[in-house]
A and B are shown apart, each in its own frame.
Chain A
Amino acid sequence: MTEPLLAARRQTLTPSPPTPEVAARCRGLVKRYGEVVAVDGLDLEVRRGECFGLLGPNGAGKTTTLEILEGLTIPDAGEVEVLGATWGKGSHALRQRLGLALQETQFSPKLTVIETLRLFRSFYLRGRAPEQVIALLSLEEKRDAPVGKLSGGQKQRLAVACALVGDPELLFLDEPTTGLDPQSRLQLWEQVRAFRAGGGTVALTTHYMEEAERLCDRVAIIDHGRVIALGAPGELIASLQAADVVEFASEPEMQRESLLHLEGVREVRRFGANWMLSVASLTTGVPALLSAVERSGARLANLSTHRATLEDVFVALTGRALRDE
């Protein structure tokens, strides 16, 4: 996708509302690790009270960006502002207002859940009672269990509990639901929503489309260390102007040209052995495809449809799948 087109899309997707208060902002962020450019001139703005998602494949630069915002990684170039302050002098006061969970946060395995939370609570001038966050994250049964004996999902919940125990204004979550079972994931989403309902701001990274679509007010899609799309999930999907996706394979294969001219087909992409058609409507697109297959004398090997998702937005922008699954 060309730069002017991207810029145009961004403008149409985010019509500037009357200057929202900014919780975190970065401009022209660059971070290199040797030869590898992890973040390559990245601009972001997280507004107060929203849930902002960084969506992208592994290695896109999501975690690096988040850790720069968290003041854990120093960027090679660019400006960072968090809650009106910058990292450096006085960052101790700033940390009082932040809560965060790292990607797979590690805790001392010999300490129990309650001991760990009491320790983290002690660093904050004001905050919630450890018992209270234990209840919030449903860790009551594991209250006195050593952290080393927790399951992956329980550890992840403890990480979020430690992020909440300081009663932060701004919450950074790096892949918070990776490794969680579906029930725990829903429960965690509820906690994030409750935190926002209390006036908090959330910035999270994820590679789950569903999570970004259902939890985030706005999403930045990141690839190769840059923002390639930004907006509300619904707007990004709507920008495809193709609400549904038809995926099929036939024997023998259909030609791209014959598919492109079908009624209502916006885009045709190769996906493994299958063709993927972005269609404005299933009711016109599927019959048109079926009759085209029949006319050419081919036989359908498989056919499936789904509503367009952020995954399709990513594929449309990069030509690659978001996740290798």
Chain B
Amino acid sequence: MSERSSPLLQLTLSRFREFVREPEALFWVFAFPLLLAIALGLAFRNKAPDRIPIGIVADAGAGRAAAAVLARSPVLLIRTMSPHDGMEALRTGKISLLVEPGPPAARDAPGTPGDTSLRRPWTFRFDQTRPDSRIARLEAEDALQRAAGRTDAVAVRSELVTEKGSRYIDFLIPGLLGLNLMGTGIWSLAFGITNARQKQLLKRLVATPMRRSQYLLSQVLGRLVFLLPEVVILVGIGWLAFGVAVRGSLWLLLAASLVGSMTFCGLGLLVASRARTIEGASGLANLVMMPMWLLSGVFFSSERFPDLVQPLIRALPLTALNDALRGIITEGRPLPAVTPQLAIVALWGIASFLLALKIFRWR
């Protein structure tokens, strides 16, 4: 006879060991989201806005004069070209706007200020669906009108704002955290359980007096062991490399991450509850995650989708989790302010667990 250790502890230890002895799994959980955050952070880091390239048909004197005027704009990058080359460049997107001078105006009112050679009809060619083109058009017209003698009726002073929390990286880090919690939660359970079923490990375990609830619980616990390092690393890199500070409570952030992680474990359990093969489970996991990758506001705000589908998008667990994480990290919201979102997340988790337990295939 021998001492008996806790089966839940042994099961969780087994899951933990299986995981850390699989280097690829570690990469996908820790390294991949970090690399993604760093790559995106660098790509979208704050810098002076790019100048917008525009073309000017400058075969006449007016064109050259206009080019000199427009070149003073901080927003525009001027290229002079022939009408034919200009149309070609516009079509291929090399320039956002093509400026063509018309014939000189019939008569000049002498004595008025400004460059009279600019007083003629101008043609602006651009694609109005491109925001760059619309900005270039406004800027170019403004510059030409002023140079040709228009006077401004009111004075406007620009004050530039670069507040922390409003940058793209500030938006991105909470979204990546949510995305990572979803990915690792769903994958580690769906893969671990389906693998055990497919390789008949589950069949052997079911033939012992193991408590089935403990097996499922150990799969979740084996996943949650990695939650703390995962959150700390991602949020830590965001803070150290990009200055993304957590404005709200760190404990609240951890609690929200825990709720999110458990919910996605539940979804992973649901994905794995019937699947006989890894391939089947992967397909199902992708089916569950793909809509949330796109819709749940990870890389860009989900507000951009039409109003009609907004209620649906709001109801997705990752949308709710991302909203809660953003609220805590960038806005410093307290628990009551993020409770509705966390409740949506938790509801998904509870429903998934209950359904998965009902339909779980043990052999």
A126–B22 Cα distance when bound, in Å, is 33
Which one of B7-15, B29-37, B124-132, B264-272 is at the A interface? B7-15
Cross-chain contact A123 with B203 (CB below 8 angstroms):
no
Q: Is the interface of A mostly helix, strand, loop or mixed?
A: loop
Residues of B within 8 A of A106 (CB): 199-201, 203-204
Residue A61 interfacial (CB < 8 Å): no
Cross-chain contact B209 with A123 (CB below 8 angstroms):
yes
A81–B84 Cα distance when bound, in Å, is 93
Residue B355 interfacial (CB < 8 Å): no
Which one of A26-34, A128-136, A189-197, A300-308 is at the B interface? A128-136
Residue A10 interfacial (CB < 8 Å): no
**A-B contact number at CB 8 A:** 86
Residues 115-144 of A at the B interface (beta carbon under 8 Å): 115, 118-130, 132
Of the residues A110, A119, A128, contact of B21 by C-beta under 8 Å: A110
Cross-chain contact B10 with A108 (CB below 8 angstroms):
no
Cross-chain contact A127 with B11 (CB below 8 angstroms):
no
Cross-chain contact A120 with B208 (CB below 8 angstroms):
yes
Cross-chain contact A72 with B203 (CB below 8 angstroms):
yes
Cross-chain contact A111 with B17 (CB below 8 angstroms):
yes
Residues of A within 8 A of B203 (CB): 72, 102, 106
Cross-chain contact A100 with B18 (CB below 8 angstroms):
no
Which residue of chain B lies nearest to A159 when distances are taken between CB atoms in the complex? Answer: B204
CB distance from B237 to the nearest CB of A (A): 29
Residues 206-222 of B at the A interface (beta carbon under 8 Å): 206-211
A119–B196 Cα distance when bound, in Å, is 15
Which of A71, A93, A102, A108 has the most chain B CB atoms inside 10 A of its CB? A108
Cross-chain contact B201 with A72 (CB below 8 angstroms):
no
Which residue of chain A lies nearest to B5 when distances are taken between CB atoms in the complex? Answer: A122
CB distance from B20 to the nearest CB of A (A): 9
A186–B7 Cα distance when bound, in Å, is 33
The contact size tier of chain B is: 20 to 34
> A118 with B10: in contact, given A102-B204, A102-B207, A107-B204 (CB under 8 Å)?
yes
Cross-chain contact A166 with B208 (CB below 8 angstroms):
yes
Cross-chain contact B209 with A95 (CB below 8 angstroms):
yes
A279–B10 Cα distance when bound, in Å, is 60
CB distance from B174 to the nearest CB of A (A): 34
Interface string of A69-102 (1 = CB under 8 A from B): 0111000000000000000000011011010101
Which residue of chain B lies nearest to A107 when distances are taken between CB atoms in the complex? Answer: B201
A120–B10 Cα distance when bound, in Å, is 9
Residues of B within 8 A of A110 (CB): 17-18, 21-22
Residues of A within 8 A of B7 (CB): 119, 122-123
Residues of A within 8 A of B208 (CB): 95, 120, 123-124, 166
> A108 with B2: in contact, given A95-B208, A120-B208, A122-B7 (CB under 8 Å)?
no
Cross-chain contact A127 with B1 (CB below 8 angstroms):
yes
Interface residues of A (CB under 8 A from B): 70-72, 92-93, 95-96, 98, 100, 102, 105-108, 110-111, 115, 118-130, 132, 146, 162, 166-167
Interface residues of B (CB under 8 A from A): 1-7, 9-11, 13-14, 17-18, 21-22, 196, 199-201, 203-204, 206-211, 363
28 contacts between A and B (CB under 8 A): A72-B206, A92-B211, A93-B209, A96-B209, A102-B204, A102-B207, A105-B204, A106-B199, A106-B200, A106-B201, A107-B201, A110-B17, A110-B18, A110-B21, A110-B22, A118-B10, A119-B7, A119-B11, A119-B13, A121-B2, A121-B4, A122-B4, A122-B6, A123-B7, A123-B209, A124-B209, A125-B209, A128-B2
What 6 A-B pairs have minimum CB-CB distances, sorted nearest first? A129-B2, A95-B209, A122-B10, A122-B7, A110-B21, A123-B208
